[in-house]
Structure 1
């Protein structure tokens, strides 16, 4: 069987598993499906009507619709078939860049019955990204007195895919003077290091050209390359040393742009060019590179864009101090963003009645509301209330849902219309 055939088979099995799982969970008021990313608009996600045990004529007559949490509607309901389908092509890496598991949530509202069902759709990864290096050309200056066995950290490759489709291995090609070692980082990531395998002789060779190749585990595998240009120099026998191995700082998310968060410091015992220390980011995510600036001369790390606790609450960076001879040291910087109350509660009416009979019994639902606040902790705790002296009350439903229900019998001859205000 061809590779394309195997991939098609895996997609079909994944969709079949999602359908079977959805049938088991429908009885609990929740449907779960799974669909690969990058599927065309209108692709099948799940048979909602079948999983809820509703007939198609009955299904369409009950005012069934799909409501999503965010502004973008990723799924729609096909009224003629009762199928949940994609509303647009979904890019997993764009939606869930920092998450291992990508799940989109929406609700199915049955207006005729004042019911709702939670739907979770897991977006699975396909190998649509190759490993890439932030630096495709690396200039390395090494003293000819450097002892064999010395190691030089290299920039890691980045791969937006997950699981087996993400970065799996490195390979070095070049000459006999250098080899490659890969160390496991604290989070399980692979950190490539260039190892001097044989003593250098500047008179014999002043330059060495190497190629570092990164490969993922896809079928077929995707690769990315970086070229390393090594210049052989004379002695520089002291490397910079940071004052501490790890710097930590906590800042509120509303810290002004331009504020200095922390200053990293390294010293070098050499004199002249070999003792002049410069600073640079050694490991930093694309988003962190947009948020933070490092002064190469002073080591000051400052904010260059607005922070948002709700998007990313913690950043881990690695800073490198290097001298004029390219000897270096690295230190870790952890920036924790704390929450401030910068989001107001949001109330959305998911379903509501425009009229009600005066003989409706107490407890009749007239509206279904969803209330949320994107802040965390006490700032994200929402309390709802109604005006007093009206024949209605709030009733807490599942999760962040509330129902507005009648509190007593109504009398049209006394009051024929109410304006109900809900405050969060």
Structure 2
């Protein structure tokens, strides 16, 4: 029993030595090649027979085969020439998207000699991909009060290629308000930033159109572009301005109630609430406030009661225009009421005599007549 256990231990040791020897031989016989990606099927990779010192007759043995690591076979071995060739077109970006160094491993098994040779083939990158942005169009929103030198991170470009064939530089074109800065990330990646070089003015330009261009380091270089639209947000930096500092109007006193006398107008270069103007009376007499109405949205001044020239022939008003941010402007409105013939003359007779003698001389005053007309000018003149 002890002898059988001893013999089994010897077999295990012999098997272990065989495995170690095979591993040592595979390591000693390992080959390394390099081939660019996208080479056509059948492209030369390496002379296996020469590099391993094998006779072509051994390679011609039917027991010689090549096994790729993984399910798919990317290489083939020509027994007559001893050359390792590509079995199909190899796309490095498809195989090794997340690694910088793309290496495929396979084994050549020489059955007659019981040898296993490891082969590593590095798939080198070619510049077959252009850098690109995930979003071809981007909109940024900036207040017109943004301080110059402010920075805004931009989306980075991506390139499936590696090394110098990947992203190398960025350029910005557009206008003088913006420039470009490129920062280095922790992994050496390049991170573009938009820099405000000149103060914005929404009233001058509400939008700025920019183009960000990225280039790789290939020969020739490949490029990609993204359009950047900067929308300038309004700040309340403009006050309303009346079209006239003083409005003068003449209206007849018999103008019907509801009639529009004059429309005051103020404009504001801002937008939204900052550009919305409302009108109010700033100075107005008590009687005028009963006669005139001001539309706060349109600036129309209309009649809400009858005017009377004989009561008041002129009105001086002050109107205020205020925007949503509290900025304002003021203008005066002078309304002159013109007279119309709306009053009949009034006759007053007065006499100090209760009776007149029949022998009174011609020219004797018997009565005093007084005619009065509240109208003015010719309208107030009367004849007897």
Give TM-score, length-normalised by structure 1.
0.49
Contact 2:174–2:211 (CA under 8 A) maintained in structure 1: yes
Correspondence for 2:250: none
Q: Is the 8 A contact 1:26 1:51 kept in 2?
A: no
Rounded to whole Å, the distance in 2 between the matches of 1:54 and 1:26 is 14
CA distance in 1, matches of 2:27, 2:152: 58
Match of 1:372 in 2: none
- Cα deviation 1:296-331 (Å, max 9, x = unaligned): xxxxxxxxxxxxxxxxxxxxxxxxxxxxxxxxxxxx
Counterparts of 1:180-259 in structure 2, within 5 Å, are 180-234=180-234
Contact 1:62 1:113 in 2 (8 A): no
Structure 1 residues 27, 96: CA separation in 2 closer, same or farther (over 3 Å shift)? closer
| Paired residues for 1:354-365 under 5 Å | none
> 2 CA distance for matches of 1:199 and 1:81?
72
Structure 1 runs of 4+ with >4 Å offset? none
Structure 2: any 5+ residue segments left out of the alignment? 1-24, 237-384
Give the secondary structure class of the aligned counterpart of 1:97: coil
- How far off is 1:235 after superposition? 5.0
**Whole-angstrom distance in 2 between the partners of 1:217 and 1:43:** 26
Contact 2:27/2:118 (CA < 8 Å) preserved in 1?
no
Partner Cα distance (1:87, 1:31) in 2: 18
1:100 aligns with 2:100: yes
Give me the CA root mean square deviation.
1.7
Deviation for aligned residue 1:213: 0.1
Distance of 2:198 and 2:219 partners within structure 1: 36
- Looking at structure 1, the residues matched to 173 and 190 of structure 2 have their Cα atoms a distance apart, in angstroms, of 18
Q: Residue 36 and residue 82 in structure 1: after superposition, are their counterparts in 2 closer, same or farther (change >3 A)?
A: same
Higher mean alpha-carbon deviation, 207-216 vs 226-235, is at 226-235
Matching residue of 2:54: 54
Q: Residues 24-423 of structure 1 correspond to what in structure 2 (within 5 A)?
A: 28-61=28-61, 63-234=63-234
Cα distance in structure 2, aligned partners of 1:138 and 1:212:
10
Query: Within 1, Cα distance between the matches of 2:176 and 2:27?
Result: 65
CA offsets per residue over residues 55-86 of structure 1, 9 Å max, x none?
A: 21232126211011211100011122111000
Which digits, 9 at most, give the CA deviation of each residue in 1:326-351, with x for residues without a partner?
xxxxxxxxxxxxxxxxxxxxxxxxxx
Determine helix, strand or coil for the equivalent of 1:94: helix
Indicate the SS of the match to 1:116: strand
- Counterpart for residue 258 of structure 1: none
Which string of whole-angstrom CA distances, capped at 9 and with x for unpartnered residues, describes residues 81-122 of structure 1? 111000000001111111111100011111112210110000
Partner Cα separation in structure 2 for residue 110 and residue 54 of structure 1? 10
CA 235–64 in structure 1, closer or farther in 2 if over 3 Å, else same = farther
Distance 1:135 1:68 in 2: 39
Give the CA deviation at 1:234. Answer: 2.7
Q: CA deviation at 1:185?
A: 0.6
Distance in 2 (CA, whole Å) between partners of 1:54 and 1:114 is: 13
Q: Which has the larger radius of gyration?
A: 2
Task: Report the secondary structure of 1:157's partner residue.
Answer: coil
What is the CA distance between 1:54 and its match in structure 2?
A: 1.5
Tell me the SS of whatever aligns to 1:93: helix
In 2, Cα distance between the equivalents of 1:27 and 1:105? 13
Alpha-carbon offset, residue 26 of structure 1: 9.0
Q: Distance in 1 between matches of 2:185 and 2:140?
A: 23
Mapped partners of 1:112, 1:62: distance in 2: 9
- Alpha-carbon spacing, 1:49–1:26, altered in 2? closer, same or farther (3 Å): farther
